[in-house]
Structure 1
Amino acid sequence: MKNPLASSHLLVGRVENHNAMMTSTFTTPNTSKACNPSEEVDDKMLQTPLAVLYSIIFILGLTGNLVALWVFFFVHAKKNSLRIFLMNLAFADLLLVICLPFRIQYHLQQNEWELGHTMCKLVGYLFYMNMYVSITLLGLISIDRYLKIYGSERTRHNLSSPRWSIVVCTIIWAVALVFMIPFILESNDKCVNAKRCFHYKTIPQEDMLKVHINIFVLVVFWLVFISLVLSYGKIALKLLRRSQQRPVLPTAPHYSRVARKSFFVLFLFVVCFVPYHVFRVFYIKTQITKETLEMRNLADKFNEISLVFSALNSCLDPVMFFLLSASVRKEVRRFMSSVFCTRDISGTSGANSSTELDNRSDKRQSNALDNMNEKKDVL
């Protein structure tokens, strides 16, 4: 005869096992979905295009910025504030370019990350850090140019020394590195998928600090953009006006060239950085609000494409170095002449200057013919 107590225990055990099985079957997927709701976003469509575009940017950006840094460090030339800013800009672009092979590998491996979550955070932070360091430096270059045109004689004299630009660049890099430390040391979330990186993520309500940081960065960007537009616009208009008022002077074509260069810097900034920050508002909105899958897919695609334009800045900055720096122009022309076995037509013009601003012959010509103080230290 069976023991009724033992049968009761057996029945209770079977019920508990059944309940545990049901909990495991239905609760686990919901938990996973809550932890990784962004995995529904289709990020496979752009895998190959992103890998190809980032590969091209990597090759061109690495070559251009290495050449620029070699010229800035090893070619003797007078140091001024512009040269210091350009040197730091080339270094920031080089660091950003070094992050691209990780993105290329990720996309080539069907968007699967094999290097761990900490490495993912490090590469991601370095990419964005150097992008915003570049934006800040371009803004500082515009301010430097503006003050050297519209500032007082004392201001122009103080800015001719590289000391202040060295201090400012040191502060920028120090702040960027300080912000990196807590980001890298942040404890890993138990819901993080170690196989994912550089992907669309929703932001929970308890983590709104990230949203506030993103909004703050957006505000800073648009302030830099407005200052850049105003400063370069006024510089270019003034130089064009001078060239039109005195077209017979030998320096008139110089003013027109400098004005065009000012607009090139503004064009570079608009093409590379404005699309990303325009779409960023829409992207953040989809992260913090309940949106349809189609809207989140659209936000993800816009974000990835505009991010390619931001990375493109590392290729276009060397073109700016060529336009603004006489020493870079001279070394590139010398290299091209050695490759194609042609005569170096650049001669020694601009050899003792890092930029067109410091070309002494132009200054003497300007003082003799035009007596224009704003000719000094123009881009």
Structure 2
Amino acid sequence: MALTLYVDTARWRAHQKTVVDQFPGIVPVCKGNGYGFGHERLADETTRMGADLLAVGTTYEAAQMKDWFGGDLLVLTPYRMGEEPVPLPDRVVRGVSSVEGVRALVGARVVIEVMSTMRRHGVSPDDLAKLHGAIDDVRLEGFSIHLPLDGVERAVEPVEEVFGWMERLRAARLPLRTMFVSHLSATQLAQLQQQFPQTRFRARIGTNLWLGDPAALEYRGAVLDVTRVSRGERYGYRQQKAAGDGHLVVVAGGTSHGVGLEAPKAVHGVMPRAKGVARAGLATVNRNLSPFIWAGKQRWFAEPPHMQVSLLFLPSDVAPPAVGDELVAHLRNTTTRADRVVER
């Protein structure tokens, strides 16, 4: 009995091909939990699509991936002075976001990140003059810029932002052989490539590549037990009283899988805010919707999810599932670790 990620492999790979065809020189990204598939699986997919470079989040991920992917690895988290050394082969390229970091990586292969309107990390325009002497001692693979997500309010349009940095780098007489970019459309990338034909633009893509066709993926949790309860009966770790007659359904998938985890959201507009207030109000009386679907509806947690299972409450007017049935679960791939991945 497991929490399972079912993959329509043909459809999933067809979507991958669409993305790869739209972005020549694509750099697939595999970080965190491997977008729900795991690092080893995505390393295999990256090899299958013929990519020569795979981006990972940290040096620790690179240390794992070096045994699963035979091409070059790009570490996205920038180098920091004094970080714990991790033994890595020469085919690992380090991201770096400061002049001091470049100077400390003598002989290393590096990609220098510039500061975007994300304001997360990167060298500033004032740093460019200082880079001239620093890059002589490293093997510069290119520059990179990490842009805000699509569909959000921006201080600067994405093409204009990249264009501005290309002009600054060119004015500083820094080598512009390769620019790594993120969160650009294929049309925007082609526009930049046309404006700067001497530079190779390479898109780093994770979410759209692996998760861009949600219909190809489905999580399901197996039902382990079904128990009838009467109004007022106590149950669970916290011995709450049943609000009415019904059934307790034990389903595979708990906190160790990522069930119940939710990242904070940026909420805009009156209706989304009203819904957020309503959910918060229900939570104060221990009413929390689970991600599991049964009989066409998202069902309530009977209590907070356990480590490996969740306890759901079904009212008496809903016929319960049988042990062995599977409940569809609407889970976030980047925070979920399934027990198994099944091709279909």
TM-score (norm 1): 0.20
More helix by share: 1
Q: Which has the larger radius of gyration?
A: 1
Q: Which has the higher strand share?
A: 2
Q: TM-score, normalised by structure 2?
A: 0.22
- Structure with larger RCO (C-alpha < 8 A, sep 6+): 1
